[in-house]
Each structure stands twice: as structure tokens, then as C-alpha cells.
Structure 1
């Protein structure tokens, strides 16, 4: 997984920043891949219809990259992480933003079913991540926050209820908090050791 491009602090912080993106498309086995594909299909079909294919793709990839940045920031150097879950949580974050900003225009029954379904899924997965080892909650949280911000920023004009200025102010403040938080806690780069050194020492795997 390291050779294919998994996220790993000593490698990523020493010039291999492309790992933040490639790790989104790597998975630890068929079960990991299948669960992520199902979750992406379940929420993604809503978000793609709400935002369109290009905005949907931007939300997914950006949330996945920022989620991996969160993983890099909050985990120790022995963590090797990969998976699309950060991007998937970004998709669910965008879904929540869209529904909340349009809550007066969506039929109440549909709003409750979709909105609270997405909330329950997100909360259950994050709580489950605290109870089970090997789940990358840092990537999940980073992706969810990014999706909430991008969902408000990229919402189509015909679905926007707030003025452009008000929406821009909210997004700018949320983005500033996110960036400042990352800059404060981002660890210093760790000297890069030969790859065989890491392969010969057991590393924590995060999905």
C-alpha cells in the first residue's frame, strides 16, 4: 500500500504530497472497497442530482484530500491510511448542507427521512470508529467538515436561499477556522527513512 500511494506521514510530509489524493482510491481488501462503494452509491446518487456531476466530483475528491490531511495531522507517524471514506463523508456533508439550506422547500416527510438518515449514518460511523481499532475517524471528520463547507459554497443558484454575500461570509469563516486548526496542529516533517525500514516494522492500518 505504501508503494501504491497510501497516506503515511514520513513520506507525505517529505515531498510526496500526491499521497493525499492517491490514498483516496486505495482500499485494504474487497470488504473495505465494497462497503465504501455502497456508501458512496447510497449518498452519492442524491448529491449528484442536487449539485450536478462536476460539483459532485469536486466535493468527493476535495473532501477525500482534506480528510487525508486530517489523518496526517492527528495520527502518529506509524499510521498507514487509505480509503475513500473521507470523500464519502464529504458527500454526506454536502447532502446535509443542501437539505438544511432548503428545508423549507423540501416536503417535511422527505426532509426528515433523508436528512436524519444521513445524520444517523454519519454519527453511527464516527461512534463506531471510536469503538473499533483501524478506522480513520480523523479522515471521516475532516471529510464531513469539508463537505458541509463545499455543500454550502457550491449549492446551485436555483436552490440557494441565502444571499451570495451571506453565504460567502459563512463559508469564509468556516474555511478560516478549518485552515487555522490544521496549521496549528500539523506536526513537523519526520525525517524520511528508507521504505524497507517502514515495511520491516509493523504499522497501524487506518481505513
Structure 2
């Protein structure tokens, strides 16, 4: 059954799945050998000395653990397969990459606004070092600053949200069965809930800290804009 599912996957979804799984395996093997690829390839904060521009791309193919990988790949295969058959492999690849990049840019942009809001000095994309040290030594927003500056983002969630946006645009009334709770829900309502939830949880993380909610929103928004540009005949499928 799995073999048949894999053979029937469209090319872009299949290759993205393979790449993500292979990267996960390589990173874990390197970990066992004492080589930290996550710090190098994950998206570090732009004021962190470990930040490199290529991380906007490489972080899209990294995953924290097996569950993180499984969840994103399930979304890629479940929603991406039919979407690729509809829009074609070229647009599918563009949608995946653009949404993933947009998610990362939104993630950094949100943190920049967050630091600015709390009175940090940001110039040319970097924190003022003296101000940062002063805050660390004097307890002024220590938890916030250290959490943001030392944070690392990784995962294909932004790209998957962009794919989900495409499914929302072309197949809004298609019903999917949720896992928790196990009830059917139309794509258009599920997408709306996830997008709104991403914004709310970015501002008020509650118990879901450590998740780049704004990257989800940025990826979904970029995907939605992109498919709207592509959509010329305004055809909607049910």
C-alpha cells in the first residue's frame, strides 16, 4: 500500500519528501558523530553571530524530531499531491519555496517588531550590543530578549501552509477528517482557523511556546497571494 502510494505521488511532492527525509537522516547521523548541523543550517536570529543568509533556505528542510518531520510530510503528501496534479510541478515547486521563504521572513520580521516594541535598539538588522548586555545584566526583558536572540527556527511548516493555501483556494469546500477531534471540516474553515490561530498564538503563545506560529501565517499568506496571481479564470472546484 505504501509502495503504491509512493509510486503514485507526483514528482515534486515525491522529491520534496525524499529530500526532507534524507536531510533528517543525515542530520541525525552527524549528531551521533558529534557534528552539530542544526546550529549551522537552522534559521538563527539575524543578530546572532551564527546567522547566515543561506539559513532562510536550509532551515526549510530541517526538522526537530521524527514527529515534527512526520506532521509536515503528512501535510505535504495529503494536500500537496492533488494540488500538484492540478497546478503542475513547476508551480508546485515555486509555491513550496516561496511560501517557505516568506514564512521565515515573517518569523524574523515579527521578532524585530517584538524587540522594538519592548524598547530594544535595532539598527541595520542587529541589536545594539551594549544595550543587549545591559538588559541581560539588569533583568530588563531578559527572558524575552534571550528567547528571541538565541532562538532557532526549522521545519517545512511555512511551505506546507502555502500548499494548504492553494488547496483552500481551489478546493475550499472539500471536507477533511480531523485527527483531534475526529470530525469532518471543510478546508475553508480549517484554513481560516489555522491562520487566525497562528496570529493569536504568536502574540499570546499560551502553552504552545517553541512553535514558529508567525512562520505558519507568513507561509499561508504568501501561498494565498501566489495562487491568486495564478488564478486567471476564477474557477473553483468542490
What is the match of residue 96 of structure 1?
A: 168
Match for residue 144 of structure 1?
220
Aligned partner of residue 175 in structure 2, secondary structure:
helix
Distance 1:12 1:146, change over 3 A: farther
Matches within 5 A, 1:6-155: 6-10=42-46, 16-75=52-111, 76-99=148-171, 111-113=173-175, 116-117=186-187, 119-120=189-190, 123-124=193-194, 127=197, 130-131=205-206, 132-155=208-231
Aligned to 2:125: none
Partner of 2:234 in structure 1? 161
Change (3 A) 1:13 1:152: farther
Q: Secondary structure at the match of 1:47?
A: helix
User: Residues of 1 paired with 2:58 and 2:83: CA distance?
Assistant: 23
CA separation in 1, counterparts of 2:196 and 2:49?
26
Partner secondary structure for residue 39 of structure 2: coil
Q: 1:26 to 1:126 in 2, by over 3 A?
A: farther
For the Cα contact (< 8 Å) 1:92–1:118, is it kept in 2?
Answer: no
- Per the alignment, residue 18 of structure 2 pairs with none
The aligned residue for residue 105 of structure 1 is: none
- Shift of residue 121, structure 1, vs aligned partner: 5.3
From the superposition, tell whether residues 126 and 42 of structure 1 become closer, same or farther in structure 2 (CA, over 3 Å).
farther
Q: Secondary structure at the match of 1:93?
A: helix
Question: 2 CA distance for matches of 1:112 and 1:30?
Answer: 29
Deviation at 1:123, TM superposition (A): 2.1
Query: What is the count of residue pairs matched by the alignment?
Result: 148
How far apart are 1:15 and its partner, in Å? 7.5
Give the TM-score, by structure 2 length. 0.55
**TM-score of the pair, normalised by structure 1:** 0.62
Answer yes or no: is the 8 Å Cα contact 1:12–1:19 preserved in 2: no
**1:82 and 1:46 mapped to 2: Cα distance?**
26
Match of 2:128 in 1: none
Deviation at 1:14, TM superposition (A): 8.7
> What are structure 2's unaligned runs of at least 5 residues?
1-37, 112-147, 177-184
- CA RMSD, aligned part only? 2.7
Distance between the aligned counterparts of 2:221 and 2:97, measured in 1? 14
For the 8 Å contact 1:71–1:139, the answer to whether it is kept is yes
Question: Relative CO higher for 1 or 2, CA cutoff 8 Å, sep ≥ 6?
Answer: 1
